[in-house]
Amino acid sequence: MAVYQLLPTVRFLTIAMLGAVLNMSSVATTNAQETPAPVKINGVFESAKAAELKVTGEQTKSWVIKKIVPHGTLVEANQAIVWLKTDAIDKQIRDSEIELKLADLAMDEANFKHDQFLAAQEMDRAAAERALEKAKLDYEHYLKVDKDYQLKSANFNLKFSEYALENVQEELDQLEKMYRRDELTEESEEIVLKRAQRDVESALFRLEGTREQHRRTIEENLPRNEVEQAERIRRAEMAYAAAMLDLKLSLVRRELDLKKQQIKFEEQQKNFETLKAERKKMVLKAPVAGYAIHGALSRGAQPERPAPLEAGKSLTADQVVVTIVPAKPLRVRLTIAESELRHVKQGVEVQVFSNIFPNEPMKGEVVSVSAVPYSGNKFDCVVKFKPGKLAGRLVPTTGCRVEFPNSDPATEAKPAAKEEKSEAAPSADNSVGEAVAPPVNTEAVETAVAPPVAETSTTEMPQPAKREDPISGDWSGRVQVLGQEVATFEMNLKLADDDSVTGNMSSDGEVIPVDSGKFQRSENKLVIKLNTPIGPMEPEFKLDGNTLTAMITTEEGLAITLTATKK
């Protein structure tokens, strides 16, 4: 805001501070009671619909201002007010788009392999079922066929060996009989008999082996085969169960891996969409019409030292860049001290005074008072009010004063001064004396009572030296803001023996009495207290020769310089 725009406001504030109208009312009698002065508490006009614009983002990690509207600009709803640089997020979007396409291809490949895996699992499951079915059939065949066949075969082999031995034995016996009747040569007889005997021996040997084999088959092989077949079917069942479990676990693992990949792909898609959405938010728009205030407000007011926001300024996550402050509706935000809390109750009617328009009271009502302090011993309070004549002229974030009815009991007025009583007493005494006392020789009384003047001269009781008085007198001053004069004032001061100071200040005919003042000689400093319409002030003037200089800082952070020169 330009200086020439500030001058009327500053002038008005200064005049209001220096020129509250002095109401000279008559003093009540000693039997009357004084009405307690209202309790005055400073506050801020707060917009009830203020909206904060923050920089936030799940994917964006840095923000830099490219352009921003000036502080205090009056903007319309949906108007662009902050532009952020987009180089970093544009690159992030390009990289994310490429990664998303690669993830899409990987997802297609994973789905294809998963289909093949399911088909292979079906084949593996069928093979395991066939192996188990074959084992079951083999076991049943053994029990129903092979076992009996092995037993029959062993019996048959034993019987056949016995038949073979019996046959060759009978043949030998027949040959021997035949050879005894026939007249064959001895050599032929010996050859035939020898062969027959060998056949018998061979059959006998085979019979013994067959008998042993039969015994082993019955006593050893068949029981062992039965146990082995039982174990084989058991192992087949275990292998089938293991195969089914492995197929199930493999399927679960595969589906989890696929789901994990799918979730990651969906997250990449979501992040990409979020990036594009955040890209659109690189231009901040006002959600409502109002004043664009840089940074965040604290309880409806601007900070005393706001952080500068300009092009090239880096921002942090969730930082409030601009607060849009609509001019209406307004309410008053107050900070109540513990010592003031007894006067502040919900529903209490109050008067509201704008610091800019201090002579225009507005009716208000306490809406809420916090039950507990919000910080330290400070309580929160909200007051609603009717702007009346000031409708459309009040500015949010500016200061105000709220006057509460004093809840303390009324106090008795101070008794009349002793001097007034002493003046009345002699008149009463005289009236009585005139009624009962004879005439008195006045000259004789004066001579008898009053000592000669010479006897009480100052030579006997020396008075202290008179102290230097650089304060008493008339002063002429001026008010400066940013090096420019915005107002003038007059000041009349009187210094007492105890260095207390009384007097008044005036500007444009409006007078403010000095409630109390003190001249600190050791520091050459004058401290006075003024009760202005916008609240108590306590400027500290530094005396330098015939010049008094003071610096006053308003709640809005505006520095005002007061300079006075003795006439």
What letter would DSSP give residue 296? Answer: -
Q: What is the DSSP string of 242-295?
A: HHHHHHHHHHHHHHHHHHHHHHHHHHHHHHHHHHHHHHHTTEEE-SSSEEEEES
Sign of CA dihedral 370, 374, 379, 384: negative
Residue 263: Cβ within 10 Å count: 10
| 92 close to 332: Cβ distance less than 8 angstroms | no
343 token code pair: 């006067």
Distance from C-alpha of 133 to C-alpha of 120, rounded to nearest angstrom: 20
356 token code pair: 């800019």
| 206 close to 161: Cβ distance less than 8 angstroms | yes
Q: What is the pTM of this model?
A: 0.47
What's the burial of 563, exposed, middle or buried (CB within 10 Å: 0-12/13-18/19+)?
A: middle
Buried b or exposed e, range 422-440, using 16+ CB within 10 angstroms: eeeeeeeeeeeeeeeeeee
For residue 319, give the H/E element and its range: strand 319-325
Q: Would you say domain 473-566 falls under CATH 2.40.128.120?
A: yes
For residue 126, give the H/E element and its range: helix 87-141
Name the residue among 394, 378, 299, 300 with its Cα closest to residue 344.
378
For residue 431, give the H/E element and its range: helix 418-436
Q: For 297-337, write each residue's pLDDT tens digit.
A: 989 998 887 777 888 898 888 889 999 999 989 999 999 99
What is the pLDDT, as a whole number, of residue 329?
92
Q: What would the mean pLDDT of 476-488 be, rounded to a whole number?
A: 80
% of the chain at pLDDT higher than 70 = 80
Q: For 331-359, write each residue's pLDDT tens digit.
A: 999 999 999 999 999 999 999 999 999 99
Residue 62: Cβ within 10 Å count: 14
Least confident of 352-356, 396-400, 448-452, 518-522: 448-452
For residue 512, give the H/E element and its range: strand 510-520
Distance from C-alpha of 159 to C-alpha of 213, rounded to nearest angstrom: 12
pLDDT surpasses 60 at 270: yes
Residue 448's pLDDT band, with cuts at 50, 70 and 90, is very low
pLDDT surpasses 90 at 422: no
What is the pLDDT, as a whole number, of residue 483?
65
The listed CATH number (2.30.30.30, 2.40.30.170, 1.10.10.10, 3.40.50.2020) that belongs to domain 38-85+286-405: 2.40.30.170
pLDDT surpasses 70 at 439: no
Q: What is the DSSP string of 320-360?
A: EEEEEE-SSSEEEEEEEEGGGGGG--TT-EEEEEESSSTT-
What is the pLDDT, as a whole number, of residue 30?
38
Q: Are strands 63-68 and 80-84 parallel, antiparallel or unpaired?
A: antiparallel
Dihedral angle computed from the Cα positions of residues 93, 97, 98 and 103, in that order, rounded to the nearest 10 degrees: 130
